[in-house]
Structure 1
Amino acid sequence: MTRSAIVLAAGHGSRMKSQKHKVLHEVCGKPMILHILDTLEKTGLDQVIVVVGQHREKVMEAVAGRADIAIQEEQLGTGHAVQAALPYVREDAESVVVLYGDAPLIQSETLEQLFTVREEAQAAVSVLTADVADPTGLGRVFLDEAGFVSKIVEEKDATPDERRHHVINTGIYAYAADALRRSVAQLRPDNAQREYYLTDTLAILREGGQPAIPVAVRDVDEIASVNDRLQLANVERLCRRRIIEGWLRAGVTMVDPDSTYIDATVQLAQDVTLLPGTILKGQTVIGAFSEIGPNTRLTDVVVGEHAVVQYSVAVDSRIGAGAQVGPFAYLRPGSDVGERVKVGDFVEIKNSRIGNDTKVSHLTYVGDAEIGANVNVGCGVITVNYDGEKKHKTVVGDNSFVGSNVNLIAPVTIGEGAYIVAGTSVTEDAGDDAFVIGRVPQVTKPNYVRAWKARKKSATSPEGGDSRGH
Structure 2
Amino acid sequence: MTNYAIILAAGKGTRMKSDLPKVLHQVAGISMVEHVFRSVSAINPAKKVTIIGHKADLVKDVVGEQSHFVLQKEQLGTGHAVMMAEAELAGLEGQTLVIAGDTPLITGESLKNLVDFHSNHKNVATILTAEADNPFGYGRIIRNQNDEVTKIVEQKDASDFEQQVKEINTGTYVFDNKRLFEALKNITTNNAQGEYYLTDVIGIFKQLGEKVGAYKLRDFDESLGVNDRVALSRAERVMRQRINHQHMVNGVSFIDPKTTYIDIDVSLDSEVILEPNVTLKGKTKVGQASTITNGSYLVDATIGKNVTITASMIEESIVEDNVTVGPYAHIRPQSHLSQNVHIGNFVEVKSSTVGKNTKSGHLTYLGNATIGSGVNIGAGTIIANYDGQNKFKTTVGDNAFIGSNSTIIAPVNVGENAITAAGSTIHQDVPEDSLAIGRGRQVNKEGYAVKMPHHPSQK
Fold equivalence (TM over 0.5): yes
Alignment gaps of 5+ in structure 2: none
CA distance in 1, matches of 2:431, 2:259: 50
Tell me the amino acid that sits aligned with residue 36 of structure 2: I
- Superposition RMSD in Å: 1.5
Q: Report the 3-state secondary structure (helix = DSSP H, G, I; strand = E; otherwise coil) of the residue aligned with 2:66.
A: coil
Q: Report the 3-state secondary structure (helix = DSSP H, G, I; strand = E; otherwise coil) of the residue aligned with 2:363.
A: strand
Q: Which residue of 2 aligns with 1:468?
A: none
1:280-319 deviation per Cα after TM superposition (whole angstroms, max 9, x unaligned): 0001011111111111000000000111101001111111
Cα gap change, 1:321 to 1:151, in 2 (>3 Å): same
Contact 1:50–1:67, Cα closer than 8 Å, also in 2: yes
Q: Which residue of 1 aligns with 2:175?
A: 175
Contact 2:260–2:276, Cα closer than 8 Å, also in 1: yes
Q: Which residue of 1 aligns with 2:422?
A: 422
1:182, distance to aligned residue in structure 2 (A): 1.6
Q: How many residues align?
A: 459
Contact 2:3–2:43, Cα closer than 8 Å, also in 1: no
- Of the structure 1 ranges 173-182 and 239-248, higher mean CA displacement relative to structure 2 is found in 173-182
Contact 2:368–2:391, Cα closer than 8 Å, also in 1: yes
- Of the structure 1 ranges 114-123 and 323-332, higher mean CA displacement relative to structure 2 is found in 114-123
Tell me the amino acid that sits aligned with residue 398 of structure 1: D
Contact 1:266–1:282, Cα closer than 8 Å, also in 2: yes
Cα gap change, 1:73 to 1:297, in 2 (>3 Å): same
Q: Which residue of 2 aligns with 1:394?
A: 394
1:164, distance to aligned residue in structure 2 (A): 1.9
Contact 2:90–2:177, Cα closer than 8 Å, also in 1: no
CA distance in 2, matches of 1:47, 1:339: 47
Q: Which residue of 1 aligns with 2:437?
A: 437
Tell me the amino acid that sits aligned with residue 349 of structure 1: V
- Of the structure 1 ranges 357-366 and 204-213, higher mean CA displacement relative to structure 2 is found in 204-213
**1:320 lines up with 2:320 in the alignment:** yes
Q: Which residue of 1 aligns with 2:205?
A: 205
Q: Where in structure 2 are the equivalents of 1:334-353 lying within 5 Å?
A: 334-353=334-353
CA distance in 2, matches of 1:362, 1:455: 34
Q: Report the 3-state secondary structure (helix = DSSP H, G, I; strand = E; otherwise coil) of the residue aligned with 2:231.
A: helix
CA distance in 2, matches of 1:264, 1:193: 38
CA distance in 2, matches of 1:453, 1:90: 95
Q: Report the 3-state secondary structure (helix = DSSP H, G, I; strand = E; otherwise coil) of the residue aligned with 1:215.
A: strand
Q: Where in structure 2 are the equivalents of 1:37-436 lying within 5 Å?
A: 37-89=37-89, 91-436=91-436
Q: Which residue of 2 aligns with 1:25?
A: 25
CA distance in 2, matches of 1:270, 1:119: 40
1:93, distance to aligned residue in structure 2 (A): 4.2
TM-score (norm 2): 0.98
1:166, distance to aligned residue in structure 2 (A): 1.1
CA distance in 2, matches of 1:125, 1:267: 39
1:114, distance to aligned residue in structure 2 (A): 1.0
1:220, distance to aligned residue in structure 2 (A): 0.7
CA distance in 1, matches of 2:193, 2:454: 90
CA distance in 1, matches of 2:211, 2:134: 27
1:34-76 deviation per Cα after TM superposition (whole angstroms, max 9, x unaligned): 0111111233222211100111110011111111101111111
1:387-420 deviation per Cα after TM superposition (whole angstroms, max 9, x unaligned): 1111111110111110100001001111111111
1:211, distance to aligned residue in structure 2 (A): 3.0
Contact 1:293–1:309, Cα closer than 8 Å, also in 2: yes
Cα gap change, 1:413 to 1:103, in 2 (>3 Å): same
Cα gap change, 1:454 to 1:14, in 2 (>3 Å): closer
Contact 2:38–2:108, Cα closer than 8 Å, also in 1: no
1:184, distance to aligned residue in structure 2 (A): 1.2
Contact 1:326–1:344, Cα closer than 8 Å, also in 2: yes
Cα gap change, 1:457 to 1:68, in 2 (>3 Å): farther
**1:4 lines up with 2:4 in the alignment:** yes
Q: Report the 3-state secondary structure (helix = DSSP H, G, I; strand = E; otherwise coil) of the residue aligned with 1:295.
A: coil
1:59-110 deviation per Cα after TM superposition (whole angstroms, max 9, x unaligned): 0111111111011111110000000012212754401000100010101111
Contact 1:150–1:211, Cα closer than 8 Å, also in 2: no
CA distance in 2, matches of 1:11, 1:191: 20
1:331-377 deviation per Cα after TM superposition (whole angstroms, max 9, x unaligned): 11111111110000000011111111100110000011111111001
1:451, distance to aligned residue in structure 2 (A): 1.6
Contact 2:92–2:178, Cα closer than 8 Å, also in 1: no
1:216-274 deviation per Cα after TM superposition (whole angstroms, max 9, x unaligned): 10111111111111110011001010101111111111111111000011111111111
CA distance in 2, matches of 1:427, 1:89: 69
CA distance in 1, matches of 2:455, 2:252: 69
Identity of aligned residues (%): 39
CA distance in 2, matches of 1:448, 1:432: 41
Tell me the amino acid that sits aligned with residue 158 of structure 1: A
Q: Which residue of 2 aligns with 1:467?
A: none
1:322, distance to aligned residue in structure 2 (A): 0.5
CA distance in 2, matches of 1:154, 1:263: 36
CA distance in 2, matches of 1:224, 1:390: 51
Tell me the amino acid that sits aligned with residue 171 of structure 1: G
TM-score (norm 1): 0.95
Tell me the amino acid that sits aligned with residue 258 of structure 2: D
Q: Report the 3-state secondary structure (helix = DSSP H, G, I; strand = E; otherwise coil) of the residue aligned with 1:64.
A: helix
Tell me the amino acid that sits aligned with residue 209 of structure 2: G
Cα gap change, 1:353 to 1:287, in 2 (>3 Å): same
Tell me the amino acid that sits aligned with residue 102 of structure 1: D
Q: Report the 3-state secondary structure (helix = DSSP H, G, I; strand = E; otherwise coil) of the residue aligned with 1:364.
A: strand
Q: Which residue of 2 aligns with 1:464?
A: none
1:457, distance to aligned residue in structure 2 (A): 11
CA distance in 1, matches of 2:181, 2:226: 28
CA distance in 2, matches of 1:33, 1:49: 13
1:454, distance to aligned residue in structure 2 (A): 6.7
CA distance in 2, matches of 1:343, 1:376: 11
Q: Report the 3-state secondary structure (helix = DSSP H, G, I; strand = E; otherwise coil) of the residue aligned with 1:99.
A: strand
